[in-house]
A and B are shown apart, each in its own frame.
Chain A
Amino acid sequence: MTTLTTHRTSDIAQPPGTPTRDARPSGSARRFFHYAVQSILIQLRDWAFLGFVIVMPTTIYLFFSSMYGDEGGGSGINVAAVMMVTMATYGGLGAAMNAGSQIQSERSSGWFRQLMLTSLAPGQFVLAKILTAIAVLIPAIGTVFLAGAARGVRLDAGTWAASLGLIVTALLPMIVFGLVIALWFKPQTATAVTTLAMLALAMLGGLWVPLQLMPEVMQTIGKLLPSYWASQIGAWPLVGGDFPWQGVIVLVVWLAVLVGVGALGYRRAIRTSRR
């Protein structure tokens, strides 16, 4: 029995034929990749979530564009096309901010503890959730684009791609926003706070009603919000003119503040967590 046991233990520390030490780095990368892909697949079969970030923006877009979309803008820009970018930004915003509450809910349910009983590291878990958010951004934006194409928006391939890429990039700080909310709020409230923040950003950032139609105070507020600039930067390939560098500055400031607040929240979470 003892001989068998000792043999068994050495087997596990050093599986025959695969020196553990050499296999570890690539093994760790393989496990991370597996987890990220599986998380994305699981997220993509969550119909309620997909309805929230894909069906709702697409429906609102189809509704509004059928009401106003045929009017050409003064500068000859198709209103339906700009509205499409705005609604795509709205859908992307929901997808981006969701990563935090995903992490939060898996932590509070206890599933995270189960994951920590595997060879996956905590940092890999968080990174995979961020990748999942980015992966969901693309269908969230893409579906509104498809609806736009169906409504008769005609752009060349380069413009479609540039707009998609710019919206995704401009929404990356909003992933951090979701993480920050998850770090600072209790699990029961984090999801609600995330939704409220998302709706406030969408409304005040002119994603539902154009900022130009709002009172001046609201316009000033809106121009300080990342949601407004994400849609402006995303629309730039369509409307042309000067690149909205002012928006880049606003986004960078938001990102810096969010990272700072997030770092404080992380230290606080480490200090107060029992495990």
Chain B
Amino acid sequence: MDAITLTGLTKTYGALTAVDALDLTVPAGQIMALLGPNGAGKSTTTEMVLGLTKPDAGTVEVFGADPVSAMRRGDVGAMLQNGVLLWDVPVRRLLTLMHGLYAHPLSLDDVIDRADLTPILKSNTNKLSGGQAQRVRFALAMMADPGLLILDEPTVGMDVDARRAFWATMDTLTAEGRTVVFATHYLDEADEFADRIVVLNDGRIVADGTGSQIKAVVGGRRIGFTGPARDYAGLPGVAAQEQRGARIVLTSTDSDATLRALLADDAVRDVEVSAPSLEDAFVSLVS
């Protein structure tokens, strides 16, 4: 069964089309990253999948049901972007309050353990650091024991250690067969963690594939070296040339051919071949 099926999904706010006839299917068990610049429609799309926003046209199915029924059934857990916590209550009380509201929740101890909340159970929600608050939000997202987890920029405000710990916990959650859809600006995270990356721009899908496929869409490799400053555009496969300090960087559609020709010159040294980062892929896809 598919976790999410979007058909012709459209949402407009006045003159702005936030989501434009989106068709997307996420099979159960997949870990999918949603990438795009601000205003690409990522949050609007996730809100429609969660049943918080009604689409103007098109349909959303979550495990074969409408989003609100899926939510009531406890099939979906979510971390909202800038999601707030109830103000001025101890974390333990907040968790107790929420724990009674799910159809088939994980045990409270399990949630506290997985989100590493033991040290802050007595803290007030208005005294939490950004990372601590994010851990509480994460606890609320997994509390339902959902088959589908939707995370809108989940690691915002976390330091490097917290981020690593977060993804380690996510690993155990996904090993249990859950579907995960996450929006992020940390493109290395998407590349590292997701099975599939969908790039959105202006409410449409501009690319859909694995991290390496996304890079392949941009095509080519980068060849950096030190050598005589001259025009290398004549070499086979070279699409672009750039001077970066003392180094020259060529973009090539056929790195093997370019390298063979380039290395014939003895003055060329310190050659380095790299695939473009997802960041580069992203920038050229949405521009």
Taking Cβ atoms with an 8 Å cutoff, the residues of A that contact B are 1-2, 4-9, 12-13, 15, 18, 20, 23-24, 27, 30-31, 34-35, 38-39, 41-42, 45-46, 106, 109-111, 113-121, 274-275
**CB of B146 within 8 A of chain A?**
yes
Closest to A27 in B: B103
Q: Which of A7, A15, A111 contacts B84 (CB 8 A)?
A: A111
**CB of B1 within 8 A of chain A?**
yes
How long is the Cα–Cα vector from A275 to B54 in the complex, in angstroms?
7
* Shortest distance from the beta carbon of A20 to any chain B beta carbon, whole Å: 7
Contact with A along B80-97 (1 / 0, CB 8 A): 101111111100010011
Contact with A along B141-160 (1 / 0, CB 8 A): 10011110000000000000
Size band of the interface chain B makes with A: 35 or more
Assess A119 versus B73: contact at CB under 8 Å? Given A4-B177, A31-B100.
Answer: yes
Assess A114 versus B84: contact at CB under 8 Å? Given A5-B177, A275-B47.
Answer: yes
Contacts of A39 in B (CB 8 A): 97
Are A12 and B146 in contact (CB-based, < 8 A)?
yes
**CB of B58 within 8 A of chain A?**
no
Assess A13 versus B87: contact at CB under 8 Å? Given A38-B97, A119-B103, A275-B53.
Answer: no
Rank and list the top 7 A-B pairs by shortest CB-CB distance, nearest first: A5-B29, A34-B100, A8-B177, A118-B101, A110-B84, A12-B147, A38-B97
**CB of B198 within 8 A of chain A?**
no
Q: Told that A110-B83, A275-B54 touch, could you supply 19 new A-B pairs with CB distance under 8 A?
A: A6-B28, A7-B177, A8-B176, A8-B177, A9-B1, A12-B104, A20-B73, A24-B103, A35-B101, A38-B100, A110-B82, A113-B52, A113-B83, A114-B83, A114-B86, A119-B71, A119-B72, A275-B47, A275-B52
Assess A5 versus B100: contact at CB under 8 Å? Given A109-B84, A111-B84.
Answer: no
How long is the Cα–Cα vector from A24 to B141 in the complex, in angstroms?
21
Contacts of B28 in A (CB 8 A): 5-6, 8-9
Are A109 and B80 in contact (CB-based, < 8 A)?
no
Contacts of B146 in A (CB 8 A): 12
Assess A9 versus B147: contact at CB under 8 Å? Given A1-B29, A4-B177, A42-B97.
Answer: yes
**CB of B135 within 8 A of chain A?**
no
Contacts of B203 in A (CB 8 A): none
How long is the Cα–Cα vector from A166 to B237 in the complex, in angstroms?
89
**CB of B249 within 8 A of chain A?**
no
**CB of B115 within 8 A of chain A?**
no
Closest to B144 in A: A118
Are B74 and A119 in contact (CB-based, < 8 A)?
yes
Closest to B78 in A: A117
